[in-house]
Amino acid sequence: MEHFIYILYSDSRDRFYIGSCAEVSKRLIRHNAGATTSTKSGRPLKAVYTEMFSSKNEALKREIHPKRMKSRVYLEDLIRKSMHGSSSG
């Protein structure tokens, strides 16, 4: 089953949030409904990056990398490249 990593952005907090799920649109609705403590104060959030994987395990492995980078520059570059059709991995 397809699984995704995603990056959400909060204008109000000027912060990025990274996660993974099977359905990004449904997950975004839950984030914006306040169902997630870590993003509740940053609502509304918008999805600015997604990357698809063939399994949950692959997505979870990939999710670790941008979280460990702890770099706004890295995330902004990843997002910018995906918007311009470049490889995101």
Tell me the pLDDT tens digit for each residue of 20-51.
999 999 999 999 999 999 999 999 999 999 99
Q: Would 89 be classed as within a structural domain?
A: no
Tell me how many degrees the CA angle 60-38-41 measures, rounded to the nearest 5. Answer: 145
DSSP summary character for residue 5 = E
The confidence score (pLDDT) of residue 87 equals 46
Q: Would 40 be classed as within a structural domain?
A: yes
Hey, what amino acid is at 84?
A: H
**Cβ-based neighbours of 53, under 8 Å, separated by 6 or more:** 2, 3, 4, 5, 59, 62
Q: Would 54 be classed as within a structural domain?
A: yes
Q: Would 51 be classed as within a structural domain?
A: yes
Q: Would 88 be classed as within a structural domain?
A: no
Q: In percent, how much of the chain has pLDDT > 70?
A: 96
The count of domains in the chain is 1
What does residue 46 show for φ and ψ, rounded to 5 degrees?
A: -130, 145
CATH number reported for the structural domain that contains residue 18 in this entry: 3.40.1440.10
Q: Which domain holds residue 10?
A: 3-83
